[in-house]
Chain A
Amino acid sequence: MSRALLLVCLVSLGCATTKTAEVKPAATEAPLACPTKEPTGAFDPAFVLGQPIVKVCLLGAGDETYLRLHEVVVPREGHALDAISVRDDLSELYRTELIRDARAFAEPTKKGVMLVYAVTERAMVSQVVIEGAPSLSHELRYELQVRSIRDTPSQRARLLEAASTFYEEAGFPRASVEFDTRASKTGTELVMRVTEGPRFVVHAVRFDGAKKLTTKILENAVQTRINSPARQAFIDRDVLLLSSAYFDNGLVLATVSSKLEELPSPPGAVDVVFTIVEGDVFTTGAVTTKGLSLGADVQKSLELKKGSVFSRAVIQRDLERLKARAQKQGLVVEVTPLTTIDSAKKRIDLTYEIAAKPE
Chain B
Amino acid sequence: MLAPTFWSLANWPETVARMFGTSVVLAVAVAQPVLVDRIAVVIDGQPLFHSAIVARAKRGVINATAKEDPKQAFLRARAELIEATLIANDGKLLSVTNDEVELALDEVAKSNSITRTQLEAAAREQGLVMREYREMVRDQLFEMRWLMVRASERGVKATDSDRMQVYANLRVTLLEQLRKHAIIEVFE
How far, in Å, is B15 (CB) from chain A's closest CB?
7
Question: Roughly how many angstroms separate A14 CA and B45 CA in the complex, as a whole number?
Answer: 46
Q: Are B35 and A157 touching (Cβ within 8 A)?
A: no
Q: Are B33 and A107 touching (Cβ within 8 A)?
A: yes
Q: Are A108 and B30 touching (Cβ within 8 A)?
A: yes
Tell whether A102 is near chain B: CB-to-CB under 8 Å: yes
Contact flags A100-126 to B (C-beta < 8 A → 1, else 0)? 111111111000000110000000000
For A39, A40, A42, A87, the residue with the greatest tally of chain B CB atoms inside 10 Å of its CB is A87
Q: Are A45 and B16 touching (Cβ within 8 A)?
A: no
Task: Pick the contact of B34: A105, A157, A256 (CB < 8 A).
Answer: A105
Tell whether A296 is near chain B: CB-to-CB under 8 Å: no
Nearest B residue (CB) for A39 = B33
Task: Pick the contact of A90: B7, B20, B38 (CB < 8 A).
Answer: B38
Q: A43-B37, A102-B38 are in contact. List 19 more A-B contacts (CB 8 A).
A: A3-B7, A3-B8, A3-B9, A4-B7, A7-B9, A11-B16, A11-B20, A39-B33, A41-B32, A42-B34, A43-B35, A43-B50, A90-B47, A94-B42, A103-B35, A103-B38, A153-B185, A154-B45, A256-B155
Tell whether A156 is near chain B: CB-to-CB under 8 Å: yes
Q: Are A45 and B51 touching (Cβ within 8 A)?
A: yes
How far, in Å, is B69 (CB) from chain A's closest CB?
17
Instruction: Give 9 A-B contacts (CB < 8 Å), ordered by A residue.
Output: A4-B7, A47-B30, A47-B34, A83-B36, A87-B49, A102-B38, A102-B39, A106-B33, A107-B33
Nearest A residue (CB) for B40 = A101
Nearest B residue (CB) for A164 = B181
How far, in Å, is A193 (CB) from chain B's closest CB?
15
Residues facing A in B74-127 (CB within 8 A) are none
Question: Roughly how many angstroms separate A81 CA and B187 CA in the complex, as a whole number?
Answer: 24
- Which applies to chain A's interface (DSSP): helix, strand, loop or mixed? mixed
Query: How many residues of A are in contact with the other chain, CB < 8 A?
Result: 42
Q: Are B45 and A104 touching (Cβ within 8 A)?
A: no
Contacts of A47 in B (CB 8 A): 26, 29-30, 34
Tell whether B1 is near chain A: CB-to-CB under 8 Å: no
Query: How many residues of B are in contact with the other chain, CB < 8 A?
Result: 35
Q: Are B47 and A91 touching (Cβ within 8 A)?
A: yes
Contacts of A40 in B (CB 8 A): 33
Tell whether B64 is near chain A: CB-to-CB under 8 Å: no
Q: Are A83 and B37 touching (Cβ within 8 A)?
A: yes
Question: Roughly how many angstroms separate A104 CA and B40 CA in the complex, as a whole number?
Answer: 12
Question: Roughly how many angstroms separate A106 CA and B51 CA in the complex, as a whole number?
Answer: 14
Nearest A residue (CB) for B50 = A43
Tell whether B172 is near chain A: CB-to-CB under 8 Å: no
Q: Given A7-B9, A14-B27, A47-B29: A106 and B45 within 8 A (CB)?
A: no
Q: Are A42 and B35 touching (Cβ within 8 A)?
A: yes
Contacts of A106 in B (CB 8 A): 33-34, 36
Q: Are B39 and A105 touching (Cβ within 8 A)?
A: no
Residues facing A in B7-25 (CB within 8 A) are 7-9, 12, 15-16, 20, 24
How far, in Å, is B71 (CB) from chain A's closest CB?
13
Q: Are B31 and A108 touching (Cβ within 8 A)?
A: yes
Question: Roughly how many angstroms separate A330 CA and B15 CA in the complex, as a whole number?
Answer: 89
Q: Given A6-B9, A11-B20: A48 and B34 within 8 A (CB)?
A: yes
Contacts of B154 in A (CB 8 A): 257
How far, in Å, is A125 (CB) from chain B's closest CB?
16
How far, in Å, is B16 (CB) from chain A's closest CB?
6
How far, in Å, is B60 (CB) from chain A's closest CB?
17
Which 6 A-B residue pairings sit nearest by Cβ, starting from the closest?
A39-B33, A41-B33, A103-B38, A104-B36, A43-B35, A255-B155
Question: Roughly how many angstroms separate A153 CA and B47 CA in the complex, as a whole number?
Answer: 12
Residues facing B in A53-83 (CB within 8 A) are 81, 83
Tell whether B54 is near chain A: CB-to-CB under 8 Å: yes
Contacts of A157 in B (CB 8 A): 183
Q: Are B39 and A101 touching (Cβ within 8 A)?
A: yes
